[in-house]
Homo-oligomer: A and B are copies of this chain.
């Protein structure tokens, strides 16, 4: 079975840092990520450069990423203006932030939920009117779907009311997003099961954070519910800068290892993923990169899910492990 790991580090990761990675370093990193076998990368955000100077080079990054054969180039755009920029730059797919929490929606996008949904309607109309070769896909991962750091609990019925409205507006896939690591596996399994039941083909993937250490536990629950697309970021880049120790996105390296170990084919070469990690580490000296597998290596006898791949783990063969009594 094939699972899509959608790499969000160049957007979700880099936008959370105070410093800005150079365009050249971004391009080398993205090329290395794609070379590892990651088939989809969220490369930037079309927000106003005053708000996110780290993303001011989104056009240049998209243009370069588009030249990588076979790569699906994804970017975030928070509103119609951003969408128009993204389309002009030539993205394959656009992700739009939209929150199920009223207060979070206003804090994050200065729009109420209702206003944000209306904006999505306008964006879908605009997109549908574009000529075929310029027409990007639109995906939304509903933020605060599992709870909100401002409002606390978010009623599940509200999340699904929004999900259905978005699907009816023409959004291609509607997923569920947990940007603060609030989700638990019981909730993840229940909600993704319902999402697939209500939205069918338009049910999207899982955007999970590891803030409370529950990221991969939630992946297992989402797999049980039939989810086949997972966002992740290399090195877990993309935490909350105001909350020390609160790590960010689930770590691509550990996620790929998890899935491949379970017999689920990601198409990703862990060795080449480590080479991309080296580029990231060199480009952001001093930045904490998370992940266990980069330190521990793969288990002895590790095999990729697809035995026909030409992938290796030479960089990741564990040093002689020890096992203590019991």
Contact = CB atoms under 8 A, between A and B. Distances in A.
Interface string A233-249: 00000101111111100
B141 A185 contact: no
Contacts of A16: 324
What DSSP secondary structure best describes chain A's contact surface? loop
A59 B320 CA distance: 34
A272 to B, nearest CB: 19
Size bracket, chain A contacts: 35 or more
B325 A45 contact: yes
Contacts of A266: none
A283 interface: no
A299 B182 contact: yes
A147 interface: yes
A254 B213 contact: yes
Interface stretch (A120-128, A157-165, A204-212): A204-212
A51 B12 CA distance: 49
Contacts of A296: 181, 211-213, 243, 245-246
A95 B295 CA distance: 30
A180 interface: yes
Nearest to A299: B182
A149 B300 contact: yes
A131 interface: no
Contacts of A153: 301
Interface in A137-193: 141, 143-144, 147-153, 177, 179-182, 184-187
A295 B108 contact: no
Interface in A283-300: 291-296, 298-300
A318 interface: yes
B185 A220 contact: yes
B323 A108 contact: yes
Interface string A262-296: 11000000000000000000000000000111111
A245 B210 contact: no
Given A184-B261, A261-B184, A240 B179 contact: no
A310 interface: no
**Among A238, A299, A324, which residue has the most Cβ atoms of chain B within 10 A?**
A324
Contacts of A300: 147-152, 182
Nearest to A95: B326
Most buried by B among A95, A104, A148, A151: A148
Contacts of A263: 186
Interface string A86-97: 000000000101
Contact of A220 (B104, B217, B238): B217
A318 B179 contact: no
14 contacts: A45-B325, A141-B326, A147-B300, A147-B301, A149-B318, A179-B326, A184-B261, A186-B262, A213-B292, A214-B216, A240-B323, A242-B320, A243-B321, A245-B296
Given A147-B301, A207-B326, 16 more contacts: A148-B300, A149-B318, A179-B324, A182-B299, A185-B262, A212-B254, A213-B257, A214-B254, A216-B217, A240-B323, A240-B324, A242-B320, A243-B295, A245-B292, A246-B292, A246-B296
